[in-house]
Amino acid sequence: MTPLLRVRELKVGFGRKADANPVVKGVSFDLEAGQTLAIVGESGSGKSVTALSINRLVDFGGGKIVGGSMAFARPDGSVLDIASADESALTGIRGREIGMIFQEPMTSLNPVHTVGAQIEEAFRLNRGLGGAAAQAAAREALERVRIPDAAERLRYYPHQLSGGMRQRVMIAMALAGNPRLLIADEPTTALDVTVQAQIMALLAELKAELDMAMIFITHDMGLVAGIADQIMVMQQGEVVERGPTDAVLDSPQHAYTKHLLEAVPHFRGGAAVRTDRPAEGVRKPVVAVDGLTVRFPIGGGFLARKSGAIHAVEGVTFDLIAGETLAIVGESGSGKSTTARAILGLVAATRGAIQTAPGRSGRPVQMVFQDPFASLNPRLTVESLMAEPAIAAGQRVDARLRERMVFLLERVGLSAEALERYPHQFSGGQRQRLCIARALMLNPDVVVLDEAVSALDVSVQARVLDLLIDLQSEFGLAYLFISHDMAVVERIAHRVAVMYAGEVVEIGAASAVLSQPHHAYTRRLIAAVPEMERRRQRYDVDTTPVPSLIKPKGFEPQPAAWIEVGADHRARVEE
Amino acid sequence: MRILKAIVAHPTGRIGAAIIAIYLLLAVCGYFGFTPHDPLQQFRVDRLKPPSSSYLMGTDLFGRDTASRLMAGIGQSFIIAFASVGLATLLGTIIGLLAGWWGGLLDGVFMRSMDMLLAFPAILLALLIIAIVGPGTATSVVAIAAVYTPIFARVVRGPVLTLKRRDFVDAARTFGSSQGYILSRHMLLNLVAPLTVQVTLALAWALLTEAGLSFLGLGTQPPAPSLGLMMSEARNLMQQAPWLLAFPGLTIMLGILGFNLFGDALRDILDPRSQGRSS
């Protein structure tokens, strides 16, 4: 039997000299009907370009297929070589036989049309349906991707839906043509873990229902384990390993695959937490947050009246102990970043107290941001960037200061030559090291790490985490580690606080919170973590929506009630 | 150096740079009197002579050498253009920077007054100012600067609005950097590229506006040579002495073309999206 798609020696290049410098250098694979192939790799590995070549969308991004063949079996038994097909033939294939979903569901939906109109369009183009028939088909499609109140949701605009809902709409549109092959390019990367788990479960169900083949692009080994039949690992445009999922995961052959598998932080349910707690007894808090509340008013312009407020952070209380890591975990919109920004004074607290112990310098709390590309001014040299905290503290830029810069740069694994270079000459991981070195310039007591490793590739992420742990003991730092990634948190945290809808719902020692979660949300969060070890388990997906943070004017929440779960472990009482 | 190399490599930027270089040389010579003849000296016997070896571009009604007057005129125009654009850049940058950074009421007051200035056609606004103050070189500078200040204010305010939300500004705040430091290092430094492009293009418009004002008799006053004034004087002699109109006209046109080509090339080069120039 001929496979659905047979790719041989595919080469793709960009720009005027596409042949000379291919980004994809001879990729070959077969995909049988109804099977799922996962393409795994880090940024720049050519995995997305490979996927975009299969429906030739790569042509619109300036790419060119410079070699190889892609034989696609049509339903009538004929075989089309996509690599050499002309645009008119491809238009008939895209959508109808090969569907695609993208990473960013907001930018792939048109914001000025209702989702109903957009799904109907997909049915009009791919199935020739019109009017009431298209509308009914659109409703069915939404029901098929498990969107509640589908008829009602058809009238919504994309911005009125959550990220997970939008991705469901994208999937509904991709399925409108009943494709025999679905290409999913990092479809859950921009989503929260619990939403990611929902989408993955949905894709697995749909695949079985529709007997559809799938190519799944991801950087996350743990994610593909549950869905893929085959795994193909790519590095710098080449396939380094290909095989059945279990074989690749359990006995990887290539060094890079092994390296990737090791670098991926495995979540072990609290079994892998740090044991190097600083000496007991001197547990003095360096930052004490008591009842922190941050609200952003809505409306209230020149003539408009204030209609309410976004309760971004509501009554958050915790202590950060000297030399320890407190991780704040939660999903987007849970208020974890706002809490961090309030501690640094970047947003004003509406209520509550933040007490910082006088530290070794005038500014005992420093911060490292998520995006290493945005947090360094591109027009300044590393020397100017590193000097900034010292200049702000009134120090002179002299030989001694330069000595400290070189010391810190070398400590984070960069050389002294870096001083004369500009940020764009460094990779993402190196930039984040720069940001860490810069945060240490003033010898702080506390470093707030706001998703500081989230934007990095897994192998880089692992090394930066190791560096952070080393620096912590060497400089006696306390970390406030903001993250959405449970596996990363498990590796670095001594204590964990779980935030949900602006409130801390559970806080305590990392081992206790991660191994015996008490609050329903913590349990849900932990259940959603994709994990290789649990790949054969099936778990029910909870689709409880997050309560709205927008509250009417004058709204005051009930004071929280807590239960002590263990010695250093307490959770909020659920209604 | 890098930018200079890129301009030489740019197909039209090269032409613009060459034109500007020649004009700068002519302007310096003209301003300091290194001209073939004294631009004010009247050779009574050689009135309205067509171009010849002794008078390269002919002579005017009073027997003055057109080539010399053109060189002096370019010098005069360049001084006014550079001074007015310099003033407009300074004022516009300060206004745009403060409006964008502080926002709120200050932004409203500043930008609405800029909008008011923008609502007038350029030459009308300049005329208005000159009518109030009286013609002269200094007035021309102020009038042209007033016309172009709002454009610079806008060019600066836009990027400031996005820059101030960038993480590196937040990072600077966490270090406790002063506002002056943030404004100069994080804002201004990132504004150099858009400002450079705008200055070059504004120079072209300023040259044209200056010529227009002089043509109307409101800029440089006779007998001092000026491009606009020369065209105005030659207008009635178009039939007998077409070179008197053609040469100043061509000079203005070429000059503006030069600055525009140069400015477009700069925009291409400084655009971070252009390949290999991401700094």
pLDDT tens track for A113-150: 898 899 898 888 888 887 888 888 888 888 888 777 78
Neighbours of A521 (CB within 10 A): 25
Q: Which of A344, A379, A380 sits opposite B174 (nearest CB)?
A: A344
Predicted confidence band of residue B279 (pLDDT cuts 50, 70, 90): very low
Cβ contact (<8 Å) for A346 and B190?
A: no
Residues of A whose CB is below 8 A from B186: 377
Chain A nearest CA to B173, separation (Å): 7
Residues of A whose CB is below 8 A from B171: 367, 369, 375-376, 435, 438
Q: Would the ipTM clear 0.85, i.e. be above it?
A: no
Cβ contact (<8 Å) for B170 and A377?
A: no
- Which tokens go with A286? 């360096």
Residues of A whose CB is below 8 A from B168: 374-377
Residue for token digits 């046109």? B253
Chain A nearest CA to B185, separation (Å): 8
Closest C-alpha to A173, from A107, A108, A129, A118: A118
Closest C-alpha to A561, from A546, A548, A547, A573: A573
Candidates B169, B173, B175, B274: best to mutate against A (most CBs of A within 10 A) is B175
Please give the interface size between A and B, counted as residue pairs whose CB atoms are below 8 Å apart: 71
Residue for token digits 């610079």? B152
Radius of gyration of chain B (CA): 22
Chain B nearest CA to A378, separation (Å): 7
User: Measuring CA to CA, how many Å separate A403 from each of A234, A364, A432, B116?
Assistant: 41, 21, 20, 54
Chain A nearest CA to B276, separation (Å): 11
What residue of A is the nearest CA neighbor of B108?
Answer: A302
Cβ contact (<8 Å) for B176 and A376?
A: no
Cβ contact (<8 Å) for B189 and A388?
A: no
Pairing of strands A495-500, A478-483: unpaired
Cβ contact (<8 Å) for B189 and A375?
A: no
Cβ contact (<8 Å) for B178 and A422?
A: no
At B103 the pLDDT is 87
What is the rounded CA–CA span in Å between residue A369 and residue A435?
8
Q: What percent of chain B has pLDDT over 70?
A: 96
- Which tokens go with A429? 């991981």
- Strands of chain B, DSSP E: none
Chain B nearest CA to A464, separation (Å): 20
- Which tokens go with B219? 């800029």
Encode burial over B106-125: b for 16+ CB neighbours within 10 A, e otherwise: ebeebbeebeebbeeebbeb
Residues of A whose CB is below 8 A from B164: none
Q: Is B161:B100 a contact under the CB 8 Å cutoff?
A: yes
H or E stretch at A215 = strand A213-218
The DSSP-derived string for A115-163 is HHHHHHHHHHHHH---HHHHHHHHHHHHHHTT-TTHHHHTT--GGGS-H
What is the rounded CA–CA span in Å between residue A242 and residue A306?
59
What is the rounded CA–CA span in Å between residue B45 and residue B61?
11
Q: Which of B167, B178, B278 sits opposite A371 (nearest CB)?
A: B167
Q: Is A129:A137 a contact under the CB 8 Å cutoff?
A: yes
What residue of B is the nearest CA neighbor of A442?
Answer: B175
Phi then psi for residue A461, to 5 deg, are: -55, -45
Long-range contacts of A401-406 (CB under 8 A, 24+ apart): A404/A441, A405/A437, A405/A441
What is the rounded CA–CA span in Å between residue B61 and residue A529?
90
Cβ contact (<8 Å) for A366 and B172?
A: no
Predicted confidence band of residue A535 (pLDDT cuts 50, 70, 90): low
SS3 content of chain B, % helix, strand, coil (to 5): 75, 0, 25
Cβ contact (<8 Å) for B174 and A442?
A: no
Res. A282: pLDDT tops 70: no
Cβ contact (<8 Å) for B189 and A391?
A: no
Q: Is A229:A36 a contact under the CB 8 Å cutoff?
A: yes
Residue for token digits 């306390």? A478
At A388 the pLDDT is 93
Cβ contact (<8 Å) for B279 and A378?
A: yes
Residue type at A320 in one-letter notation:
L
Residues of A whose CB is below 8 A from B185: 377, 380, 384, 388
Measured over the CA atoms of residue A434, residue A436, residue A439 and residue A442, the dihedral's sign is: negative
Neighbours of A132 (CB within 10 A): 8
Task: Give the DSSP letter of residue A354.
Answer: E
Neighbours of A189 (CB within 10 A): 14
Q: Is A28:A5 a contact under the CB 8 Å cutoff?
A: no
H or E stretch at A25 = strand A22-31
Neighbours of A573 (CB within 10 A): 11
- Which tokens go with A452? 């500081």
Cβ contact (<8 Å) for B278 and A363?
A: no
Measured over the CA atoms of residue A496, residue A454, residue A544 and residue A159, the dihedral's sign is: positive
What residue of B is the nearest CA neighbor of A391?
Answer: B177
- Strands of A322-459, DSSP E: 325-329, 351-356, 365-368, 446-450
- Top-confidence range, A197-201, A273-277, A434-438, A455-459: A434-438
Residues of A whose CB is below 8 A from B278: 378, 424
Candidates B167, B195, B270: best to mutate against A (most CBs of A within 10 A) is B167
Q: Which of B166, B175, B178 sits opposite A389 (nearest CB)?
A: B175
Cβ contact (<8 Å) for A371 and B174?
A: no
What is the rounded CA–CA span in Å between residue A78 and residue B87?
72
Cβ contact (<8 Å) for B167 and A384?
A: no
- Which tokens go with A205? 């169900």
Chain segment B94-112, per-residue pLDDT in tens: 999 999 999 889 999 999 9
- Chain A residues with a Cβ under 8 Å from any Cβ in chain B: 341, 344-346, 362-363, 365-367, 369-371, 374-380, 384, 388-389, 391-393, 422, 424, 435, 438, 442
What is the rounded CA–CA span in Å between residue B107 and residue B154?
11
Chain segment A417-440, per-residue pLDDT in tens: 999 998 888 888 899 999 999 999
3-class DSSP state for residue A480?
strand
Closest C-alpha to A293, from A350, A231, A218, A235: A350
Please name every residue paired with A222 in a beta bridge, in sequence order, or none if there are none. Answer: none
Mean pLDDT for A403-426 is: 91
User: Measuring CA to CA, how many Å separate A374 from each of A379, A432, A469?
Assistant: 12, 11, 24
What is the rounded CA–CA span in Å between residue B170 and residue B182?
10
Q: What is the mean pLDDT of chain B?
A: 88
Report if pTM > 0.95: no
Q: Is A549:A310 a contact under the CB 8 Å cutoff?
A: yes
Closest C-alpha to A226, from A487, A458, A530: A530
Closest C-alpha to A417, from A439, A400, A434, A432: A434
Q: What percent of chain A has pLDDT over 70?
A: 94
Chain segment A50-75, per-residue pLDDT in tens: 988 988 888 887 888 888 899 998 88
What is the rounded CA–CA span in Å between residue A400 and residue A129?
74
Cβ contact (<8 Å) for A378 and B190?
A: yes
Measure CA A315 to chain center: 27
At B275 the pLDDT is 43
At B276 the pLDDT is 41
What is the rounded CA–CA span in Å between residue B3 and residue B266?
8
Cβ contact (<8 Å) for B168 and A424?
A: no
What is the rounded CA–CA span in Å between residue A234 and residue B274?
29
What residue of A is the nearest CA neighbor of B192?
Answer: A379
Residue for token digits 């989503």? A191
Q: Which of B167, B176, B181 sits opposite A375 (nearest CB)?
A: B167
Q: B85 or B126: which carries more pLDDT confidence?
A: B85
Q: Is A9:A28 a contact under the CB 8 Å cutoff?
A: yes
Cβ contact (<8 Å) for A374 and B189?
A: no
Cβ contact (<8 Å) for A424 and B279?
A: yes
